[in-house]
């Protein structure tokens, strides 16, 4: 029990702007993914995780960020790129040697590629695959939060000061990480049940999309968020009706795509 409370205190002490979707959103993403897993994927995930579940491990990479053993994973949660790129330039930026260091993951894109590779590697131990699986569940959620693929110039919205519903000053990134997700008042199971309404055509297309498409979609969702902050940084009740549907769509896409990645990883 003491260990549980220490972990909880460490999680609560993390910078708010570093936890895309928060506990609620990450668990909802993982719960949606569970709804769309193949029988083979369910068996292999149960073997790797034991008594744990995808929703409960979805926040583990945030919980351990104060552990020196995992200090190198701090940049894995986001990808900041310059403003105004089209898709071709965006993909070139992803593969820029300055970002895509071959020696080790240095951002969300390179980290996702690495943990997907590790999960499918038959030479990896169960413990190594467990770590890779936990990071995969978390990072797929991270990159669907638009400000986690935000502008390098303002650190993904962290330097954009705003007020949320007449409360103390915060920043644009933090509003997207937590306030927008929590506004509905759902539990993560309620959120997953309410949001999990993809059509067969959407499910097929979203799982077919390449990872670069996921990231570029988030990048394209940033300009309206930045524009809202520039127009009026004092966010009132209008903000959620404007951006709530985007939050819902991105959490749904993350869950569907996570299931697709896991099904593909464990298809044999």
What percentage of the chain exceeds 90 in pLDDT? Answer: 76
In this predicted structure, the answer to whether residue 10 has a pLDDT above a threshold of 70 is no
Mean pLDDT of 185-204: 97
Residue 104 banded pLDDT, cuts 50, 70, 90: low
pTM: 0.90
Average pLDDT, the chain: 89
In this predicted structure, the answer to whether residue 3 has a pLDDT above a threshold of 70 is no
Question: Is 120:128 a contact under the CB 8 Å cutoff?
Answer: no
What is the distance between the alpha carbons of residues 213 and 219, in angstroms, rounded to a whole number?
Answer: 10
Q: Whose structure tokens read 């464990």?
A: 266
In this predicted structure, the answer to whether residue 245 has a pLDDT above a threshold of 50 is yes
In this predicted structure, the answer to whether residue 15 has a pLDDT above a threshold of 80 is no
Specify the pLDDT at position 106.
Answer: 84
What is the distance between the alpha carbons of residues 226 and 10, in angstroms, rounded to a whole number?
Answer: 30
Specify the pLDDT at position 1.
Answer: 39
Buried b / exposed e across 208-225, counting CB within 10 Å, b at 16+?
eeebeebbbbbbebbeeb
Question: Is 259:32 a contact under the CB 8 Å cutoff?
Answer: yes
Domains of the chain: 2-265 (1.10.575.10)
In this predicted structure, the answer to whether residue 130 has a pLDDT above a threshold of 70 is yes
Specify the pLDDT at position 11.
Answer: 34
In this predicted structure, the answer to whether residue 215 has a pLDDT above a threshold of 90 is yes
Question: Is 147:225 a contact under the CB 8 Å cutoff?
Answer: yes
Specify the pLDDT at position 6.
Answer: 35
Mean pLDDT of 131-158: 95
Specify the pLDDT at position 167.
Answer: 76
How many other CB atoms are there within 10 angstroms of residue 82's CB atom?
A: 11
What is the distance between the alpha carbons of residues 32 and 197, in angstroms, rounded to a whole number?
Answer: 10
Tokens in use for 193?
């049940």
């Amino acid at each position: 029990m003491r260990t549980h409370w220490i972990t909880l205190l460490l999680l609560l002490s993390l910078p708010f702007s570093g936890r895309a979707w928060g506990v609620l959103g990450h668990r909802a993403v993982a719960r949606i993914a569970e709804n769309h897993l193949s029988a083979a994927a369910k068996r292999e995930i149960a073997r790797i995780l034991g008594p744990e579940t995808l929703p409960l491990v979805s926040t583990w990479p945030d919980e351990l960020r104060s552990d020196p053993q995992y200090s190198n994973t701090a940049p894995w949660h986001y990808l900041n790129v310059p403003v105004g790129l089209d898709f071709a330039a965006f993909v070139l930026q992803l593969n820029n040697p300055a970002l895509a260091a071959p020696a080790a993951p240095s951002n969300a894109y390179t980290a996702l590629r690495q943990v997907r590779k590790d999960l499918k590697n038959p030479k990896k131990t169960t413990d190594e695959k467990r770590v890779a699986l936990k990071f995969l569940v978390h990072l797929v959620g991270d990159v669907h939060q638009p400000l986690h693929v935000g502008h390098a110039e303002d650190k993904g919205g962290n330097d954009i000061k705003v007020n949320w519903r007449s409360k103390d000053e915060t920043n644009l990134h933090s509003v997207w990480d937590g306030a927008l997700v929590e506004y509905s008042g759902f539990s993560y199971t309620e959120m997953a049940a309410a949001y999990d309404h993809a059509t067969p055509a959407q499910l097929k297309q979203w799982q077919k999309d390449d990872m670069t498409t996921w990231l570029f979609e988030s990048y394209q969702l940033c300009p309206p968020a930045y524009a809202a902050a520039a127009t009026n940084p004092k966010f009132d009740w209008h903000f959620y009706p404007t951006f709530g549907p985007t939050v819902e769509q991105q959490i749904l896409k993350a869950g569907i795509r996570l299931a697709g990645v896991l099904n593909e990883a464990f298809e044999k």
